[in-house]
Structure 1
Amino acid sequence: MNRLPRPLGRRGAARALVAVAACLALATGCSGSDDDAKSEKGPSSSGSSAAFPVSLTNAWGTTEVKEKPVKVATVSDGDTAIALALGLVPVITPDVEDGGDVAEYKQKAIDKVGAGTLKTYDDTDGTDYEAVATAAPDVILGVNTWSMDDDYAKLSAIAPVVTYAKKTDADTLTWQERLDTAAKALGLTDKAKEVVAGNEKAFADAAAAHPELKGKTYTYAVVHPQQITYMSYADQDPGVFEGLGLTKAANAKNYSADKNAVSLENLDELEADVLVVSYPFGDNGLISASELESNKLFQSLAVVKGKHYAVVSSDDGLASAVAYPDALSSPWVAEKLAPVLADAVAGK
């Protein structure tokens, strides 16, 4: 089965009903260090080694950032996470909460940068170009969005758009690569390195606190509206499980980004030392938790019989943060997920 498009936050999940579930320190201020005064060349950058102007090649053209940006707009929750992780308060962001509570880690970041609440636009019908234009940003971050094909022309007429180098990058870039691209355009490469180091330490500390996780195999599955998705396929590294010491189950080799559906007749493919399942679409999923857990084939799995099966909650945002790692959530994910996995290993 072909890959399903990813949801964009809570509202995106409710709106799209088709998605595939494929982290992070905070700081304040917009000024850069000496290293920030030098542009780091990469596959998507070109031009002078001076910090500004910065030239970034993207899938739709070239982004020229003439001066160090101060006012930054974002067009996805993942881009908002990048801005907050780098210590920036976006001048406008999409409203992804839809009246719900802001995730704990995100609220802490907002509080740390002294923003109180973020200025948002209603994204029910997609990006609100007028609201973005009214905010008069110096740059627009769009490295973590799946709608840039529709957005780029209109957004680039407002301000330089920082996005990915190839259209396929929308699905394949790691959060570290997205952070790096944004940091180059913002003159905050040193800060980005601090973010990465902080996230790595958070996972190293969590893994050290739970040595029982090391070397255990895992399967991570997400119940979507159209299928049960084998998310921990061979080429997929969401980072969170491996970062805590687990390794992919043998059956991971049978799945890929474009072949990731597990039928109810093949639930034995989920076998592993630890099985982790999430239900981000609730009653709109292919099968409910109670229905899956009462399935005879599911009940026959050794991992289920041994009670090494865990459900990752969608209510507090943990399932989303596990599925879509970004530049803000990693320490929180490590803190919340490690005990869940430890209980599963112990058969609790």
Structure 2
Amino acid sequence: MASSPLRARRSPRAVPAVLLTAGALLLAGCSTGPAGGGSAGSSGSAAEGATGEFPRTVEHVYGETTIEEAPERVATVSWVNHDVATALGVVPVGVPTTDFGANGTGSTDWFDAALEESGAEAPQTYSETDGINFEAIAALDPDVILGAYSGLTREDYDKLSEIAPVVAYPEDAVAYGTSWQDSTELIGQALGREERAREVVEDVEQQIAETAEQYPELEGTSFVYGTLDPSAADPIIAYTEVDNRPKLLTSLGMVQAEAVTGAAEGKEDEFYVTWSPENADDLVSDVFVSWAAGEDVREDIESDPLLSSIPAVADDALVLQTDEQEVLSVSAASPLSIPWALENVVPDIAEAARTAGGE
């Protein structure tokens, strides 16, 4: 976890009401026990909240998956998927341990808030440091495995399918590039909760619209969302429009820098492009948002003869994100993390937009 937060933590936005109306009974019915702990008894059933008919078939990058009955025991891989399931009223029985971006509980603020509001117990966790934890997932005896947001390979998918039906990422998405809306829709289909998924998406999109109104300076402001690090092999990285970071900013009315859009042409499956430091002054935007391991990186950037020539850096409109949880809330966007990001990430970007506008 980053040791020097970008700024003091703000109070998290309340969990959207629509995420809580599924009821604590449904949420509690899917938990097995505290994170990393043993199994606990359940009260109720996740299947009770499903409104869709079963069996049902969902489509994804590796074909089709048929789910015979409304899942009661849900396991997830990667980020995002456990957030989405919880937002839809189903706390998984098992989820990957959060390493990058974890809070003091080894989870995230937004997931913990939803869990607390629901009254459910925390799911078991398993490490994905060395890849998919097939053994731990199999031990949970899940009814379905969710990977709508993931980088599942065909080999991963086939091996997981020997355990339970698997929902991989959409065919039209890149690995780790599924939008939070598409993840919610796909998982809603798998759980028989399409109506709930639509409500959740509409609610969060409304919050985004309200935030855009709160910060009118964002409208039309150009940006680069990437990474600046003079010591890295690739000192300049910019995320493309298929990545969730630029997707959030464009949803707020901001505009991807033309330089990045041009560099990404013909690279529709790539979520980032590299940029030559020798051409740093051509990377024109009003604002530059960058991850950094610590606040001291700012001095390294500003003292670098090439990176300091990036227009947004020269104009003091560089937003340096040193808090891993801030980065995770946007890069692995979910209907739980986005409201948190609107409170904890967007104000810094709006401040940079005001600086760029001469305020």
Q: In the alignment, is residue 331 of structure 1 matched against residue 339 of structure 2?
A: yes
**Could you tell me whether the CA contact under 8 Å between 1:110 and 1:117 is conserved in 2?**
yes
Partner secondary structure for residue 209 of structure 2: helix
Counting only pairs closer than 5 Å after superposition, residues 310-321 of structure 1 correspond to structure 2 as 310-315=319-324, 317-321=325-329
Aligned to 2:79: 77
Q: Which runs of 5+ in 2 are unaligned?
A: 2-14, 27-45
Q: How far did 1:261 drift?
A: 0.3
Secondary structure of the structure 2 residue equivalent to 1:310: strand
TM-score (norm 1): 0.78
Give the 3 Å change call, closer, same or farther, for CA 57–89 of structure 1 in structure 2. same
Q: Distance in 2 between matches of 1:123 and 1:324?
A: 16
Structure-2 change in CA distance of 1:234 and 1:59 (3 Å) = closer
Compute the displacement of 1:140 (Å).
0.9
Please say if residues 234 and 255 of structure 1, whose CA atoms lie closer than 8 Å, have aligned partners that are also in contact: no
CA RMSD of aligned residues (A): 2.7
The answer to whether the 8 A contact 1:273-1:303 is kept is yes
SS at match of 1:276: strand
Distance in 2 between residues matched to 1:270 and 1:343, nearest whole Å:
20
Counterpart code for 2:90: L
Q: Does the 8 A contact of 2:222 with 2:256 survive in 1?
A: yes
The verdict on how the C-alpha distance between 1:309 and 1:61 changes in structure 2, with shifts beyond 3 A counting, is closer
Equivalent in 114, 128, 131 of residue 126 of structure 1: 131
Alpha-carbon distance between aligned partners in 2 of 1:252 and 1:189, rounded to the nearest angstrom? 35
- 1:55-74 correspondence to structure 2 within 5 Å: 55-74=57-76
1:152 corresponds, among 150, 157, 162, to 157
Determine the C-alpha separation between the residues in 2 that align with 1:155 and 1:139. 10
Q: Which residue in 2 is equivalent to 1:3? A: none
Deviation (angstroms), 1:172 = 4.6
Structure 1 vs Structure 2: percent identity of aligned residues? Answer: 31
Q: How does 1:92-107 map to 2 (within 5 A)?
A: 92-97=94-99, 100-101=103-104, 102-107=107-112
> For 2:312, which of 303, 314, 317 is the aligned residue?
303
Residue of structure 1 aligned with 2:222, choices 217, 220, 237 = 217
| Counterpart mapping for 1:255-274 below 5 A | 255-256=263-264, 257=267, 258=270, 260-274=273-287
**Alignment partners' CA distance in 1, 2:170 and 2:313:** 43
1 CA distance for matches of 2:219 and 2:170? 36
**Greater mean deviation of Cα atoms: 141-150 or 169-178:** 169-178
Summarize the Cα distance change of 1:199–1:90 in structure 2 as closer, same or farther, 3 Å threshold.
Answer: same
Q: Distance in 2 between matches of 1:235 and 1:142?
A: 18
2:231 paired with 1:202: no
Kindly provide the CA deviation profile for residues 174-200 of structure 1, in whole angstroms up to 9, marking residues without a partner as x. 221122111111011111111111111
| TM-score (normalizing by structure 2) | 0.76
Alpha-carbon distance change, 301 to 128 in structure 1, aligned in 2, over 3 angstroms: closer
Instruction: Name the stretch that deviates more: 97-106 or 209-218.
Output: 97-106
One-letter amino acid of the counterpart of residue 352, structure 2 = A
Q: Distance in 1 between matches of 2:88 and 2:226?
A: 31
For residues 255-289 of structure 1, the C-alpha deviation after alignment (integer angstroms, 9 at most, x for no partner) is 2154710122122233211121112xx28xxx943
Of 221, 225, 246, the match for 2:254: 246
Structure-1 residue corresponding to 2:122: 117
Which residue of structure 2 lines up, in the alignment, with residue 180 of structure 1?
185
Contact 1:308 1:345 in 2 (8 A): yes
Counterpart for residue 294 of structure 1? 303
Distance, in Å, in 1 between the alignment partners of 2:61 and 2:217 is 44
Give, in whole Å, the separation in 2 of the partners of 1:62 and 1:306: 50
1:290 Cα deviation (Å)? 2.7
1:160 to partner: Cα distance: 0.9
AA paired with 1:346? R
1:187-219 Cα deviation digits (max 9, x unpaired): 111111111111111111111111122111112
Between stretches 53-62 and 238-247, larger displacement belongs to 53-62
* 305 and 62 in structure 1: CA distance in 2 versus 1, 3 angstrom threshold: closer
Cα distance, 1:169 vs structure 2: 4.1
Letter in 1 for 2:336: L
Q: Deviations over 1:214-272 (max 9, x none)?
A: 111112122475422111x3665632112222112221232215471012212223321
**Within 2, Cα distance between the matches of 1:173 and 1:203?**
18
Partner Cα distance (1:119, 1:130) in 2: 13
The aligned amino acid for 1:291 is: D
Look up the match of 1:343.
351
Question: Structure 2 CA distance, aligned partners of 1:338 and 1:165?
Answer: 28
